[in-house]
Amino acid sequence: MLSLRTLCPHLARPRPESALPHWLTDPWITDWLHLLARWFHLVVGAGWIGTSFYFNWLNNNIRPVEDPSKRLAGALFAVHGGAFYQVSKFKGAPETLPKTLHWFKWEAYLTWISGLTLLLLVYWMQAGVMMVPAGSPLSPAAAAGLGVLSLVLGWGVYDLLCRSPLVRQPRLLAGLGLLLLTGAAYGLGELLTPRAAFIHVGAMMGTMMALNVFFVIIPGQRAMVEALSRGEEPDPRHGQAGSLRSLHNNYFTLPVLFIMVSNHFPFTYGHPLPWAVLAGITVIAAGVRHWFNMSGRGEKNAWILPVSTVSMAGLAFVVHGPRPPIDAAAAAQAPAATVVEAIVHQRCTPCHTEVPTFAGIDAPPKGLILRTAQQVHDNAAIVHAQAVATPIMPLGNLTGMTDEERATLGRWLDAGAPL
Ligand code: HEC
């Protein structure tokens, strides 16, 4: 008989006990919330990065023009989407302001808010499975609190540095910034699961970017507009502070985007030295950004790009190089599929099955079912990536997989997962 339950199989699934009303914890609600929040985050993030790249490009390509008023820094002509455009840049402020002045801030705020929503849904609300490593004395609430604290502290320290005399020494500031971020990655990595540590460092940088807009760039612009409307010359310090933060945001973009996507590639955060991977990526990505900035200004620092490319290839090889080919002798001695099945049954199946028995997991994560040797065989590459090459799975090693079991699984997979 056709019923709501046959149309929507989720409704028929038994649910674990929970303090929250079950429609709130039902996977179809949480899955859709995750998906919609991520979609929204990507869309507004693209808007933010897009305007940031566009204005950066404008600044690099504006050229001096004939200007009897002597107030223009330059102009630029462009053609896009079948229309021609002319953009002029003022040296300081224009004499008068038009009625509509466009501001660019909601892209930044919405990206940050939706990013925090994702952190809340994926990490803070599931801190027990997503943030607390095996054997850690941290409670889920403490782990989530640490995540929140890292964002607050990150901003506080960064903002202090930007207001200190160090701003006059950009190289020193950049070096110190990298050191502090790497330190944060190391410290969080010691306390939280590597994946949570990675995303929180990315979120720290994202927070610095969004709060730069909220606390420095926009208030500065507002003060400049107010001065103009009173007929006064705006205080140039607002403009200077704004451009400094804007420049920092510009260098943050590529590393932040990399950290965000790397969250779906366990070989990055699952490396034995995740903080070193993160520092390497940050330097390379900021280097690429630097090259774009320099070449946009017509400075020929051609070496930066090849050095970044070679470093990236080197890092890729060290972090996740090609796997050795299957060795026939090892294959002959591979553990039996039944042995592997028994391990998987104990360590993976509690979460990775149709109706998980592990408390707090109410649907097979990522739809991945690992109950039989055949299913492990069919997912050999991702199982190897998450449970052999890196100890990401079992999540937080909550089912207590031993190194020996991991090695057995590895030998079987390396031998081609014979059934
Ligand atoms: C405590 C619950 C739990 C246990 C036990 C567990 N996993 Fe997972 N697994 C998860 C969660 C949650 C995710 C989804 C993580 C995410 O959102 O990316 C996941 C994701 C995965 C993925 C990624 C799937 C994909 O398509 O990206 C693989 C592979 C995986 N697990 C393998 C294993 C293996 C192998 C074991 C046993 C050695 C195991 N898991 C044990 C909870 C668990």
401 lines ligand 1 (CB under 6 A): yes
Q: How far is CA 254 from the centre of its chain?
A: 10
Q: Rg of the chain's alpha carbons, rounded to an integer?
A: 26
Could you tell me the CA-to-CA distances from 35 to 40, 48, 116, 127, 355 in Å, in that order? Answer: 9, 20, 14, 19, 22
Backbone angles phi, psi at 250, to 5 degrees: -60, -45
Tokens standing for residue 164: 């200190």
Which ligand 1 atom is nearest residue 383's CA? Answer: 29
| Spatial separation of the C-alpha atoms in residues 365 and 50, rounded to whole Å | 33
Which protein residue has the closest C-alpha to ligand 1 atom 13? 365
Q: Are 101 and 225 in contact (CB under 8 A)?
A: yes
pLDDT at 23: 65
Give the residue carrying structure tokens 């200004």. Answer: 297
Amino acid, single-letter form, for residue 211 = L
200 lines ligand 1 (CB under 6 A): no
| Spatial separation of the C-alpha atoms in residues 400 and 214, rounded to whole Å | 45
If one residue of 31, 193, 346, 366 were mutated to test the ligand 1 pocket, choosing by the most ligand atoms within 8 A of its CB, it would be: 366
| Spatial separation of the C-alpha atoms in residues 203 and 263, rounded to whole Å | 12
| Spatial separation of the C-alpha atoms in residues 199 and 107, rounded to whole Å | 20
413 lines ligand 1 (CB under 6 A): no
Cis before 365? omega within 30: no
Please state which of the ranges 308-317, 367-376, 383-392 shows the lowest mean pLDDT.
383-392
Q: Are 111 and 256 in contact (CB under 8 A)?
A: no
pLDDT in tens, 218-229: 999 999 889 888
389 lines ligand 1 (CB under 6 A): no
Residue 256's pLDDT band (boundaries 50, 70, 90)? very high
347 lines ligand 1 (CB under 6 A): yes
Residue 7's pLDDT band (boundaries 50, 70, 90)? low
| Residue 9 CA to ligand 1 centre (angstroms) | 22
Residue 291: other Cβ atoms inside 10 A: 19
Q: How far is CA 275 from the centre of its chain?
A: 14
Give the residue carrying structure tokens 């690429």. Answer: 288
Q: What is the largest CA-CA distance in the chain?
A: 86
| Spatial separation of the C-alpha atoms in residues 278 and 132, rounded to whole Å | 20
| Spatial separation of the C-alpha atoms in residues 331 and 418, rounded to whole Å | 8
Tokens standing for residue 109: 């705020």
Q: Is the dihedral of CA 197, 200, 201, 202 positive or negative?
A: positive
| Residue 365 CA to ligand 1 centre (angstroms) | 6
Closest of 274, 215, 198 to residue 249, by C-alpha: 215
Q: Are 129 and 196 in contact (CB under 8 A)?
A: no
Q: Are 230 and 307 in contact (CB under 8 A)?
A: no
Q: What residues contact 22, with CB distance under 8 A and at least 6 apart?
A: 15
Which ligand 1 atom is nearest residue 399's CA? Answer: 5
pLDDT in tens, 296-334: 777 878 888 999 999 999 998 888 777 666 667 767 788
Tokens standing for residue 176: 């110190």
| Spatial separation of the C-alpha atoms in residues 79 and 385, rounded to whole Å | 46
pLDDT in tens, 195-247: 999 999 999 999 999 999 999 999 999 998 898 888 888 888 888 899 899 98
Residue 346's pLDDT band (boundaries 50, 70, 90)? very high
Q: How far is CA 373 from the centre of its chain?
A: 34
| Spatial separation of the C-alpha atoms in residues 205 and 222, rounded to whole Å | 24
| Spatial separation of the C-alpha atoms in residues 239 and 154, rounded to whole Å | 24
pLDDT averaged over every residue in the chain: 87
The fraction of the chain above a pLDDT of 70, given in percent, is 92
Q: How far is CA 407 from the centre of its chain?
A: 31
Residue 16's pLDDT band (boundaries 50, 70, 90)? very low
| Residue 418 CA to ligand 1 centre (angstroms) | 22
Which protein residue has the closest C-alpha to ligand 1 atom 20? 365
Average pLDDT over residues 288-292: 87
Q: Are 258 and 283 in contact (CB under 8 A)?
A: no
Residue 189: other Cβ atoms inside 10 A: 21
Closest of 124, 200, 193 to residue 394, by C-alpha: 193
140 lines ligand 1 (CB under 6 A): no
